[in-house]
Amino acid sequence: MAERVLILGGGFAGNAAARALRGQGLEVTLIDQRNYHLFQPLLYQVAAGDLQAEAIATPQRRLLRGDLHFRLGRVARLDLSQRSIFLDDGDVLPYDYLFIALGTVTNFFGNAAIASHALQLKGMEAAEAVRSRIFSALEAASHCTDSAERRSWLSFVIAGGGPTGVEFCGALLELLRVVLPRDYPELRLEELQLTLVEGGAALLPGFAAPLQAQAAGKLQKLGAQLRFHTHVLGFDGQTVQCQPDPDIPAHTVVWTAGVTAHPLAATMPGAKGPGGRIIVDPHLRLPGHPEVFILGDLAYGSDGAFWPQVAPFALQSARHAALVLQSQRHGRPLPPPFAYRDPGSMAVLGRFDAVCQIERWHLRWHGWSAWLLWLGLHLYRIIGTRNRLLTLLDWGTDYLRHGAAVEIIRSPTDPSDPCVHTQPSRHKMQAGNLTSSAS
């Protein structure tokens, strides 16, 4: 009987691990609560209306053909001593080897008010909820007779100045600068306010100072108001409470200020690193359990080496773990300890502009060429020819027409739908219960 490998999580790490184990005489099953793989780096473009969600989502079963298997389900708990996974539908799945690649969830730092009212960019439903909120706010503002209330509808706040916050800020500004005068003649562009709040001294932590300055200058040129050394303390759907800066009247807050490990990580034995990440041995295994591998965003090195929570690290960790598993199975010497090879960092700032740095080659630049590199790499990393073509079509529509490719407000009837609470109310607006898919 073939040895059983369970992979928890269908993001970059989980899918890469499954593909690396294809054809190795193993019974490989990937488990995820969504039946699709989501290209998370472009999720903000779904929120900004640049892409349709289907362009960056690929059915798992299309990716896991051949001797790979897929199981739709949510992991309730695991029993390491019995080598079993318990799903929330009651099924119990035994394993010989376990790969855990459940990724992260949005970190609201224990602030229940923000978690209840702010939107996030984790998962397809969440991104579509953000897009619906944006266009719902424009509709509400278009027929609002009270000037102060109208400005609140036209006030958008992004909390967090990392790559996601910066890229979404640029995309949203370019969207609104075109859509408002073209499609909403009742509104004046001067009433629009987009504020990016960052707790640190600069945008894009980890980037070189000149690139951080370039990002700030570009967003300010587009019309963003930047607040540094500022923390969002609360949000009730009407007002964003800031410290030490003044509060911001706004109905829309998008939270990109941090992530934390999937809740399952807290139930596992062993030491934890920053953000609840699981500290692993030099071969990405759970200490004391050589049959359990921790991949991607959940893994943290025992030597404290910097492992960023990005797609390249997820892919590299998955391939290394697959090599280690094969060595263990066949009694061969293990490969050298895992060492992350940083391919560089980049962030798009808007139309035809991006920042890029490749530290091992001491390269740092911005502008048109950096944007082209960003474009090419993201198209290359999208899984599937169909998805690449859909993305190219949406980008072409967006760039040629200078407007959103998707301007649809979802009108859900199911109360459990995460967008159901995003329709504008004259008095109060609440975010729905947004869930995040494992990545």
Active site residues: 167
In terms of Cα–Cα distance, which of 36, 9, 233, 231 is closest to 105?
Answer: 9
User: Which 8-state DSSP code applies to residue 368?
Assistant: H
State both tokens at 195: 């504020």
Radius of gyration, alpha carbons of the chain = 22
State both tokens at 24: 């190795």
Q: What is the 3-state secondary structure (H, E, C) of 203-258?
A: CCCCCCHHHHHHHHHHHHHHCEEEECCCEEEEECCCEEEEECCCCEECCEEEECCC
For residue 79, the number of C-alpha atoms closer than 13 Å in the C-beta half-sphere is 9
Taking residue 192's Cβ as centre, other Cβ atoms within 10 Å add up to: 18
Question: Is 371 strand, coil or helix?
Answer: helix
Cβ(438)–Cβ(9) under 8 Å?
yes
CA distance 374 to 156: 26
CA distance 321 to 202: 36
Cβ(84)–Cβ(94) under 8 Å?
yes
Q: What is the phi/psi pair of residue 183, to 5°?
A: -110, -15
Residues in Cβ contact with 307 at an 8 Å cutoff, skipping those fewer than 6 apart: 299, 300, 301, 313, 317, 340
CA distance 239 to 152: 9
Cβ(307)–Cβ(361) under 8 Å?
no
- What is the enclosing helix (H) or strand (E) of 173? helix 163-183
Q: Is 258 left (phi over 0), alpha (psi -120 to 50) or beta?
A: left
User: Which 8-state DSSP code applies to residue 298?
Assistant: G
For residue 290, the number of C-alpha atoms closer than 13 Å in the C-beta half-sphere is 7
Count the residues in the chain. Answer: 439
Which residues are paired to 261 by β-bridges?
104
